[in-house]
Amino acid sequence: MACESEKWVLMVTAQTPTNIAVIKYWGKRDESLILPINDSISVTLDPEHLCTTTTVAVSPSFDQDRMWLNGKEISLSGGRYQRCLREIRSRASDVEDEKKGIKITKKDWENLHVHIASYNNFPTAAGLASSAAGFACLVFSLAKLMNVKEDQGKLSAIARQGSGSACRSLYGGFVKWIMGKHDDGSDSIAVQLADEKHWDDLVIVIAVVSSRQKETSSTSGMRESVETSMLIKHRAKEVVPKRIVDMEEAIKNRDFPSFAHLACADSNQFHAVCLDTCPPIFYMNDTIIGCVEKWNRSEESPQVAYTFDAGPNAVLIARNRKVAASLLQRLLFHFPPSSDADLSSYVIGDKSILQDVGVTDLKDIEALPPPPEIKDAQKYKGDVSYFICTKPGKGPVLLSDKNQALLSPETGLPK
Ligand code: DP6
C-alpha cells in the first residue's frame, strides 16, 4: 500500500433503485442471516424518480468507518451494517490506480477504513422502501471500490443481510428472490426474470399518504406474524409457491389481467396475515382498493393493479399510459390536494401524464368529473400528500461524473 502519510482518497459513486414487491416477502426462517419463508417477486422502480445515490471512499487517513445518510452522520454499529461491511471486505481484491500512484492489496483492505455517504432522492419518511435501495447501493458501491469479483447474485445475497428486500434492488425490471434451502443462506439470492424493456407499457402511480401513524416496522411485524399467525404458514407453504409460478408466467407473457389479479390478491393476503397476527397489525387504508376494484370490475378485464407494503402508501400499476391517465384522473378526483398545495409538488416524477389528463392547474382538478362506475363518489381532500408517477426501471449503475460524488475527493468528508 502507498505510504500512510500520503493523503490520497479513492472513491466510487453508484445509484441504485428501489423496488415494489408484487408477490410479498413476509416472514423469516433465520433472523440474523435474513432468510425468508417464501420466494418473492418485485418490479424495480425507475431510479430517475426513486433511488439512492451512494459514494464510498477509502483513504489511509481515515481512522474509522463512518457513514452519512442524507447529510447526517449515522452509526454503523448495527449488526446489519457490520455484516454487509464484513462480507464485502472479505471478498476484496487488489486495486491499482496508476495515475494516482495508489496500490491496495487484498490484505490492506482489512486495515483500511471507509467513508460512506448516501442520499435518497425521495423523502425517507414517506416510507418507500428506502432500506432496499440503501443497502443495495451500499453493497454495490463497496463491491466496486474494493474490486470484488463476485456476480450480481452473490452481491444480492450480501445486500439481503442488510435488508431482505434489498437483494431485489440489484437488478432492473422484474426480479425474483429465491428463498433458498441452505442454512448458511448461500442459495438465498435474487435473479432477474426480465429487464425493464421487456414490459415497458406499464405505468406506476404511487399515492403517498398524509397522516402516518407510528407503524410497526417490517422486521418486527413479520417476526410477530411468524410467531402468532396460522395463516402465514398456509400462505408460505401452499399459496405463494403456486403464485410465484403464475406470476413468472404472467410477466413472461405480459399478461396484464393475470399480473393484476395475482398482485392484488397477494397484497391482500399479506395484509390478511397482518390482521391474523396477534396483536393485529393494520398497515393500509382501503379507500383506494375500493375505487380500483369497482373500476376493474366495470371493465372487461383489470386495468390497474394495486399493492401495499408495510404502510398506507398505495402503489398502483396501470397497464399502459392511456389507463394511467384515467387512473390519475380518478385519483385526483377522489384525493384533491389540501388548499395550500401547489400542483407541481402534488404530482411529481413523470409529470407529463398530467397533460394527458388535461390538468394544468388546481382549478382543473376541482372540475374533474366523478368516475362513471361509482355512485355518489366521495372526495377525501388532503388525505394524499402527493403522487409519484413512474415506471419500471433499470438496476444499479456507477456514476462516473465526479460532480455527482457526495464526498469531497480531497478530504473524503461530505461535500
Ligand atoms: C412488506 O425488507 O424491509 O415490503 O428484511 O427485516 O429488513 P427486513 O424487512 P424488509 O421487508 C419488506 C417487506 C415488504 C414486502 C416486500 O418488500 O417483499
Atom of ligand 1 nearest to the CA of 217: 3
Atom of ligand 1 nearest to the CA of 34: 5
Question: What interface predicted TM-score (ipTM) does this complex get?
Answer: 0.99
Blockwise average pLDDT, block size 10, the chain, 415 residues: 69 97 98 98 97 97 96 96 97 94 95 96 72 96 98 98 98 98 97 98 94 82 98 98 98 98 98 97 90 96 96 96 97 93 92 94 93 92 94 98 95 96
Please work out whether the CB of residue 156 comes within 6 Å of at least one atom of ligand 1.
no
Please work out whether the CB of residue 169 comes within 6 Å of at least one atom of ligand 1.
no
**The CATH number fitting domain 10-196+397-404, selected from 3.30.750.24, 3.10.20.30, 3.30.230.10, 3.30.499.10:** 3.30.230.10
For residue 111, give the DSSP letter. Answer: T
The alpha carbon of 221 and the centre of ligand 1 are apart by a number of angstroms equal to 10
What confidence score (pLDDT) does residue 126 get? Answer: 65
What confidence score (pLDDT) does residue 129 get? Answer: 66
Q: What is the sign, positive or negative, of the torsion defined by CA atoms of 390, 391, 397, 399?
A: negative
Tell the residue nearest (CA) to atom 5 of ligand 1: 164
CA angle 315, 389, 272 (to 5 degrees): 5
Tell the residue nearest (CA) to atom 14 of ligand 1: 309
What confidence score (pLDDT) does residue 213 get? Answer: 67
What confidence score (pLDDT) does residue 215 get? Answer: 81
The alpha carbon of 232 and the centre of ligand 1 are apart by a number of angstroms equal to 15
CATH of domain 203-390: 3.30.70.890
Domain boundaries defined on the chain: 10-196+397-404, 203-390
Please work out whether the CB of residue 219 comes within 6 Å of at least one atom of ligand 1.
yes
For residue 336, give the DSSP letter. Answer: P
Please work out whether the CB of residue 390 comes within 6 Å of at least one atom of ligand 1.
no
Contacts of 128 (CB under 8 A, 6+ apart): 18, 50, 122, 206, 208, 313
The alpha carbon of 15 and the centre of ligand 1 are apart by a number of angstroms equal to 20
Could you please report the per-residue DSSP string of 288-310? HHHHHHHHHHHSSS--EEEE--S
CA angle 147, 130, 290 (to 5 degrees): 140
If one counts every other C-beta atom within 10 angstroms of the C-beta of residue 154, the result is 16
State the residue for C-alpha cell 390536494. 337
The SS3 call for residue 381 is coil
Element of type H or E holding 36? strand 35-36
Please work out whether the CB of residue 283 comes within 6 Å of at least one atom of ligand 1.
no
What confidence score (pLDDT) does residue 339 get? Answer: 83
